[in-house]
């Protein structure tokens, strides 16, 4: 065992008999505990690596755990170890048990865009098309699935809108079944239903999972909780690691009360608290402790650190939002030059993305590099979505979303009238669009030219699917035959832009080959590759890493799990943090936890900024400082700016002088 572990960490690692809840405060080394416990289970407890499962929420966290284990154990000792996200674990279970789930080989996993396209098509054909909004319906279906609610249970609801949504929910599920497809939520929901209803499958998986470790337990939703409960069975051989002080995702289905549920479902549950923080100076932790002490819904913990005492935190009050942005930018530039601090050590955190615009402008004005979380993902690019759709359609011709995306990419002159008649045929026959396109009856609905174009496409797809030889070579040949590079040239105004997009496709193809080579059997078939690539795309938004030397601009929600030497928490105002729509007791408690997350991202310095006045809805309004500042002792805060020690005019003069000094420094 690693000698550097503190006493509570060692206790958590050694506890292997019975269920354990580790309440791990921010920066307390929870990942280290999980990885050391895996080593302990293999080296000291005799549990085979293949029978140990560790689950978390992001690919990044899973990769970090795998890397740490690789540094502690030789390859033969860790062979078969299962470290993944919840959704990857669910996908692996489905791939082994697809027949019991009523799926056929080559099933498709739809990403959010595919799912939304399917919902839009269903709405267009329904009586509710002018009543329900597609994205809102998609969100509602997702929440229902994560609460294990089925359409038939909602069909008799008193609320008319919910009944309408339930009717579309039922049609959506039927269409997924017809397409041999799953959506992202099904990757956990379907395994849960199978384990609940099939005793043989449940016993098989409980025998396989001899020990389960769960990271970020406070973020689990109902389906994830049930998956854990069903996998560990009555023995409860698991360790759940979480921090209810950082439970900030109730709006997307997380259930922090799952921490309390553990004690009732597993009466012999042990608890260990990790309160030593290895990240921050104590002045930052003191502020966080005082803030979170007012949240009576969570387990009491008091963070402390041996890093050092730290300085009081500045609260900079600005005249207006433009001055706030300029002040943040000039402060960062000044610190960068004065202390030779890399830009990657700075972060500006916001309650909402809209707050970033002015700070972006101010940073650009001073030529300060920055990254904004929420930018376009690799998997969000149109050319990558096209590539994914072709791969999915090769594997599963019943995938309607993929069919609709590629049928005219590149253009094949198959018009909307043809697609509408094709949709009618599919609806009447309760089949997929591809099946409808190859049916005998479709010829009577279309004129000869339209039918010939449609048949040419389906015949070509069937031909390329059935060609013998290397599957990956077939995928490459597909893009050559449709001259996708040439198609991109017709879509872009410059040759350089088209070449850049084609390079993205080449990168995607190389990634496909890399994933196949790294598989334990030396290669993966196309169905497995399609499923794996789709899952990577879905999780990509959560796991993108920012390795460049740039200031990080990101929301408080996106900042969770990250750390920076110097943090600016902008817009520390009533109606911003806490948000004006989160004033009831439950949501206000989550806003407090969100502020706690922001504070504990800082390692060395923390600066709060706010405005005296802010323009809202076209009008200037006086602003009140956030109530959360009142919860932090005055001894920990150093107030500066308008109305504190100087007039507004003096403040603006000082800000301009500060900026002028920095610009002069740059020119010298």
Q: Is 30 in the active site?
A: yes
Q: C-alpha distances in angstroms, 652 versus 317, 349, 615?
A: 11, 23, 18
- Quick one: which of 267, 294, 41, 253 has its CA closest to 142? 253
**Residue 216 falls in the annotated catalytic set:** yes
Q: Which of 111, 114, 216, 275 is catalytic?
A: 216
For 135, 171, 180, 192, 569, the CA distances from 174, given in Å and listed in that order, are 19, 5, 10, 19, 47
Q: Is 253 left (phi over 0), alpha (psi -120 to 50) or beta?
A: left
Q: Which residues make Cβ contacts (< 8 Å) with residue 107, sequence separation at least 6?
A: 94, 98, 180, 181, 182, 396, 527, 531
Question: CA-CA distance, 499 to 444, in Å (whole number)?
Answer: 42
Catalytic residue among 30, 37, 229, 279: 30
Closest CA to 216 of 57, 101, 108: 57
CB 488 within 8 A of CB 501: yes
DSSP assigned state of 579: B
- A 10 A CB-CB count for 197 gives 10
Token pair 């080579």 is at which residue?
517
**How many residues are present in the chain?**
668
Catalytic annotation present for 428: no
From 246, 409, 534, 600, active-site residue:
246
Which DSSP letter does residue 369 get?
Answer: -
> SS3 helix, strand, coil % of the chain, rounded to 5?
55, 15, 30
Neighbours of 1 (CB within 10 A): 14
Residue 324, Cβ density class (10 Å: 0-12 exposed, 13-18 middle, ≥19 buried): buried
Q: Which of 388, 123, 180, 87 is nearest to 140 (CA)?
A: 123
One of 10, 14, 16, 31 is an active-site residue; which one? 31
d(CA 210, CA 237): 7
- Please list, residue by residue across 41-58, b when 16 or more beta carbons sit within 10 angstroms of its beta carbon and e when fewer do: bbeeeebebebbbbbbbb
Segment holding 242, helix H or strand E: strand 238-242
Which ranges of 518-562 would DSSP assign to H, the alpha helix? 526-543, 556-559
In this structure, are residues 269 and 263 in contact, taking their beta carbons and an 8 Å threshold?
A: yes
Do you find a cis peptide bond into 578, omega within 30 degrees of 0?
A: yes
Q: Is 36 a catalytic residue?
A: no
Nearest-CA neighbor of 96 among 198, 224, 242? 198
Task: Quickly list DSSP for 160-183.
Answer: HHHHHHHHHHHHHHHHHHHTTEE-
Residue 167 phi, psi dihedral angles, 5° rounding:
-65, -40
Concatenating the DSSP letter of every residue in 267-336 gives TT-EEEEE-EESSS-HHHHHHHHHHHTT-TTS-----EESS----PEEEEEESSHHHHHHHHHHHHHHHH
**Is 206 assigned a catalytic role?**
no
> Cα Rg for the chain, rounded, in angstroms?
28
Q: Quick count: other Cβ atoms within 10 Å of Cβ 164? A: 17
- Pairing state between β 304-305 and 20-24: unpaired
Catalytic residue among 215, 243, 286, 326: 215
> Considering 68, 145, 593, 601, which one is annotated as catalytic?
601
Catalytic residue numbers, as ranges: 30-31, 215-216, 246, 601
């Amino acid at each position: 065992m690693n000698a550097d572990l503190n006493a509570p960490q060692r206790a958590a690692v050694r506890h292997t008999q019975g269920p354990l809840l580790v309440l791990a405060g921010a920066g307390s080394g929870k990942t280290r505990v999980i990885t050391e416990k895996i080593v302990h289970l293999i080296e000291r407890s005799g549990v085979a690596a293949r029978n140990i499962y560790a689950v978390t929420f992001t690919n990044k966290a899973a990769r970090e755990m795998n890397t740490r284990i690789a540094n502690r154990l030789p390859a033969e000792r860790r062979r078969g170890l299962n470290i993944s996200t919840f959704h990857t674990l669910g996908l692996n279970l489905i791939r082994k048990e697809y027949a019991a789930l009523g799926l056929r080989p080559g099933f498709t996993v739809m990403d959010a865009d595919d799912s939304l396209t399917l919902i839009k098509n269903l709405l267009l054909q329904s009586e509710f098309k002018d009543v329900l909004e597609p994205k809102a319906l998609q969100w509602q279906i997702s929440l229902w699935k994560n609460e294990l609610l089925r359409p038939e249970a909602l069909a008799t609801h008193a609320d008319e809108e919910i009944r309408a949504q339930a009717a579309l929910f039922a049609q959506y599920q039927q269409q997924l079944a017809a397409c041999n497809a799953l959506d992202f939520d099904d990757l956990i929901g379907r395994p849960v239903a199978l384990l609940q209803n099939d005793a043989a499958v449940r016993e098989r998986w409980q025998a396989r999972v001899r020990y389960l470790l769960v990271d970020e337990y406070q973020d689990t939703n109902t389906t994830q909780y049930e998956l854990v409960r069903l996998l560990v069975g009555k023995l409860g051989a698991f360790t759940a690691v979480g921090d209810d002080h950082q439970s900030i995702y109730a709006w997307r289905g997380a259930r922090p009360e799952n921490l309390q549920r553990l004690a009732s479902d597993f009466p012999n549950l042990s608890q260990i608290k990790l309160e030593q923080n290895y990240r921050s100076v104590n002045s930052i932790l003191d502020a966080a402790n005082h803030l979170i002490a007012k949240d009576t819904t969570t387990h009491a913990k008091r963070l402390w650190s041996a890093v050092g005492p730290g300085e009081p935190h500045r609260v900079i009050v600005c005249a207006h939002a433009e001055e706030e942005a300029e002040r943040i930018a000039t402060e960062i530039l000044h610190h960068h030059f004065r202390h030779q601090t890399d830009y990657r050590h700075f972060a500006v955190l916001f309650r909402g993305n809209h707050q970033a615009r002015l700070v972006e402008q101010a940073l650009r004005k001073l030529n300060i590099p920055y990254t904004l979380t929420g930018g376009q993902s690799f998997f969000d690019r149109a050319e990558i979505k096209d590539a994914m759709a072709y791969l999915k359609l090769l594997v599963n011709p019943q995938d309607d979303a993929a069919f609709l995306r590629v049928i005219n990419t590149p253009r094949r002159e198959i018009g909307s009238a043809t697609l509408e008649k094709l949709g009618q045929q599919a609806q009447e026959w309760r089949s997929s669009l591809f099946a409808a396109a190859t049916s005998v009856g479709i010829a009577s609905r279309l004129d000869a030219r339209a039918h010939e174009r449609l048949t040419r496409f389906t015949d070509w797809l069937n031909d390329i699917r059935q060609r013998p030889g290397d599957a990956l070579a077939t995928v490459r040949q597909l893009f050559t035959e449709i001259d996708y590079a040439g198609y991109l040239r017709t879509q872009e105004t410059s040759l350089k832009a088209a070449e850049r997009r084609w390079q993205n496709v080449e990168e995607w193809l190389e990634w496909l080959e890399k994933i196949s080579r790294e598989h334990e059997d030396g290669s993966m078939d196309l169905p497995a590759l399609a499923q794996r690539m789709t899952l990577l795309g879905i999780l990509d938004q959560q796991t993108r890493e920012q390795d460049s030397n740039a200031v990080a601009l990101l929301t408080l929600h996106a900042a969770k799990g990250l750390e920076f030497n110097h943090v600016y928490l902008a817009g520390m105002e009533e109606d911003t943090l806490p948000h004006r729509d989160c004033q009831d007791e439950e949501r206000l408690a989550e806003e407090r936890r969100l502020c706690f997350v922001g504070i504990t991202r800082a390692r060395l310095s923390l600066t709060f900024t706010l405005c005296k006045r802010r323009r809202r809805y076209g009008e200037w309004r006086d602003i009140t400082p956030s109530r959360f500042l009142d919860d932090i002792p005055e001894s920990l805060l150093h107030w500066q700016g308008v109305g504190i020690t100087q007039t507004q005019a003096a403040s603006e003069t000082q800000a301009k002088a500060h900026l002028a000094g920095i610009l002069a420094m740059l020119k010298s």
